[in-house]
């Protein structure tokens, strides 16, 4: 089992998008493991998980707010945005 370390970065623009630094960077196959660790550490609750061909998207709730976590395969980018 890989132990991931992560840091949610403050938005760099007016857009409410938070980039997530993850070490080691999750790959396509172990992204679910990273999500489980993230959700457990934050106390969030997964509402919907969509593991697609090019992008994974996790809809979760934290402190009464809904968020979408995205993972893009080609750039290995992870980011979070409020669900509208």
Instruction: At 72, list the tokens.
Output: 């893009």
Residue 44 has pLDDT above 90, yes or no: yes
CB-based contact 69:19 (threshold 8 Å): no
Read off the pLDDT of residues 9-34 as tens digits, 9 standing for 90 and up. Answer: 887 777 788 999 999 988 878 889 99
Provide the pLDDT for residue 27: 81
Residue 71 has pLDDT above 90, yes or no: yes
φ, ψ of residue 31 to 5 degrees: the values are -65, -40
Q: What share of the chain is helix, strand, coil (3-state, %, to 5)?
A: 15, 45, 40
Q: Of all residues in the chain, what percent carry a pLDDT higher than 70?
A: 100
Provide the pLDDT for residue 33: 93
- Residue appearing with tokens 């998008």: 17
């Amino acid at each position: 089992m890989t132990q991931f370390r992560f840091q949610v970065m403050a938005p760099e623009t007016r857009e409410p998008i938070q980039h997530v630094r993850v070490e080691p960077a999750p790959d396509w196959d172990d992204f679910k493991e990273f999500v489980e660790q993230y959700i457990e550490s934050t106390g969030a609750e997964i509402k919907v998980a969509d593991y697609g061909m090019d992008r994974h998207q996790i809809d979760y709730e934290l402190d009464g707010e809904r968020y979408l976590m995205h993972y893009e395969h080609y750039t290995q980018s992870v980011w979070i945005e409020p669900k509208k």
